[in-house]
Structure 1
Amino acid sequence: MTMNTKRFSSAALLAAFSLLLSGCFFTPGKFTSELTLKQDNSFEFSYTGEIFFLGLSQLAQMGAASDADEFEGGYCFDEETFEDRDCTAEETAEQKAEWDANADARAASSAKEIEQMGALMGGLDLSDPEAGAEMAAKLERQRGWHSVEHVGNGVFNVEFSTRGQLSHDFVFPMMEGFPLPTQFVQLILRDGNQIRVEAPGFAAQDNAGGMTGMMGGMTGMAALAAAEEGGEAFDPGFPKMDGTFTIVTDGQILANNTDEGPAAAAGGQALRWDIDSRTKAAPTALIQLGR
């Protein structure tokens, strides 16, 4: 691993940790999601596909790998032109001595960050190889999570569905022990039996989709590292968001931001959004149900 890659790894870990602190730590991968809203105020919601947990094992391993790397030398520059140049043997020796002297501090800092990440993820030990299975078990004990399988690197294949009456607001996902989770879909009940549907987690470039946008930025950092002389591309292995979100309703669609508007469907009308890494605006709709 070159110094370019090391710098990217450290920056990625720091960016990820900052997002964990803000609650933005998971995102869709490949998925299909559907919401049905009925005039009698009943609803059905489903999500089938991938959910990626940024802080699980992958960034813990990334941070550990970054700190465990052998010293390979840093950068030196010309004090007059400020251009990069080869370091002298004396400068390299000084860098190596500083690297060695800070080894304990780096290890302690990494361990603390991993512990704090775990606290934000329901108390999981991110260094435990069984952390993914433990998280899957926690989710499956919640109603609606019919199947949760950790397939590695923080990626879970899930099957979720629920139904009920719209007597209060609804948010997906809701996870026990997780503070301020990223909201993929939320239903907001307004006076007059209007339902505001928003899907902030299904947008890569919307303000509410901060994590996905950050992931794109981290991938760009990796490409930049590869382009630099002597650089080595670092692939964080994040799954790309790719899916569909559909609303089917027999109510009146008052507003929506689909490209083509409502289409006829069994049970009423349907709104459909095709979601990928280029999606700029989160899906939104306002629907009037029976009074």
Structure 2
Amino acid sequence: MMHWIRNLALLIAAPLILTGCLFTPGQFVSTLTIGKDRSFTFTYKGEVLAIDLEGMSDGLGGMAEGDTVKDAADADSTDDDVKPGDAPQESPAEKAQETAEKKAKRDAQLREIATQLAKEPGYNSVQYLGDNKFVVDYSISGTLTHNFVYPFNQDAAMVLPWIAIELRGKDTIRVKAPGFAKQENVGGEMTGSRESKASGTFTLTTDAEIVSQNNEDGSKTAGGKRVIQWNVTPISKEAPTAVLRLNAR
């Protein structure tokens, strides 16, 4: 069982490693309105950060299942064969040029991602500001006859959604926003834990019955509807979650 779970984690993480980045929220305001008639509107306005994962796959790619870090280090050790001065060293100027070239290549890739995302339904605007930062204005409306996730774009390797709406039975849905909480691991040992930079609010508004929710402040009434607002910080550990009961299909 654990072997299967590990393989699944590797399959999910593989596109992220290949593109060399993981997309996470920065400063944002996000809202979700769900009607008991199954209508919904989701919005996200704010920053999207591309976290560089380059090199992390190299450090783990050669390790077989069951190997330890010490085993890998011992296998790579060539103290008996390589002596100081045998390998040519890059000059500071060469290193700076190499760094600049890598940054230019990454910026070009991320600008292209911005161009492609702007063509997707729901994206009112997508701007790449440089330094691995986008500014996004996204809003979409529909009917919950199927599950919904955001973001999801295979070409840009956005395969780890920040929010998911899952239909459960004939009259129940679960809303969960793992992207708005600190993630200890992404893809298991492929990427390890990373510092969250998410900062903002996620607000759920509904006229449906709230079966459960995990906001310690509970819900409030506004305009005849129930409103739950989660304040998200870089140290938030619990993903915003709510279960609602809608009109049966």
- Per the normalisation by structure 1, the TM-score is 0.60
Which residue is equivalent to 1:249? 206
CA contact (8 A) 2:186 2:192 kept: no
Moved over 6 A (4+): 208-213
CA distance in 2, matches of 1:252, 1:209: 35
CA contact (8 A) 2:49 2:134 kept: yes
Q: CA deviation at 1:95?
A: 2.9
Q: CA deviation at 1:209?
A: 10
Which residue is equivalent to 1:215? 194
**TM alignment of 1:17-56, pairs within 5 A:** 20-21=16-17, 25-55=22-52
Which residue is equivalent to 1:189? 167
- Larger Rg over CA atoms: 1
SS of the aligned residue for 1:270 comes to: strand
Distance verdict in 2 for CA 1:205–1:175, change over 3 Å: closer
Which residue is equivalent to 1:271? 228
SS of the aligned residue for 2:105 comes to: coil
CA RMSD of aligned residues (A): 3.5
Distance verdict in 2 for CA 1:280–1:265, change over 3 Å: same
Q: CA deviation at 1:208?
A: 6.5
Q: CA deviation at 1:174?
A: 1.5
Q: CA deviation at 1:39?
A: 1.3
Report whether the alignment pairs 1:290 with 2:234.
no
More strand by share: 2
Q: Deviations over 1:202-224 (max 9, x none)?
A: 111465798998332xxxxxxxx
Q: CA deviation at 1:101?
A: 7.6
Q: CA deviation at 1:283?
A: 0.8
Q: Deviations over 1:160-208 (max 9, x none)?
A: 0000111100000021414461211000011131110010111114657
Which residue is equivalent to 2:134? 156
CA contact (8 A) 2:44 2:139 kept: yes
SS of the aligned residue for 2:229 comes to: strand
CA contact (8 A) 1:34 1:245 kept: yes
CA distance in 1, matches of 2:222, 2:169: 27
CA distance in 1, matches of 2:178, 2:18: 15
Distance verdict in 2 for CA 1:203–1:129, change over 3 Å: closer
CA distance in 2, matches of 1:191, 1:27: 31
CA distance in 2, matches of 1:194, 1:146: 30
Report sequence identity in percent: 35
CA contact (8 A) 2:184 2:194 kept: no
CA distance in 1, matches of 2:204, 2:41: 10
Q: Deviations over 1:8-51 (max 9, x none)?
A: xxxxxxxxx98933998111000011000001110000000001
- Aligned residue type for 1:282: A
CA distance in 1, matches of 2:27, 2:210: 27
CA distance in 2, matches of 1:252, 1:212: 39
Q: CA deviation at 1:133?
A: 2.2
CA distance in 2, matches of 1:213, 1:35: 30
Q: CA deviation at 1:141?
A: 0.4
Q: CA deviation at 1:126?
A: 7.2
CA distance in 1, matches of 2:104, 2:155: 15
Distance verdict in 2 for CA 1:166–1:182, change over 3 Å: same
CA contact (8 A) 2:162 2:180 kept: yes
- Per the normalisation by structure 2, the TM-score is 0.69
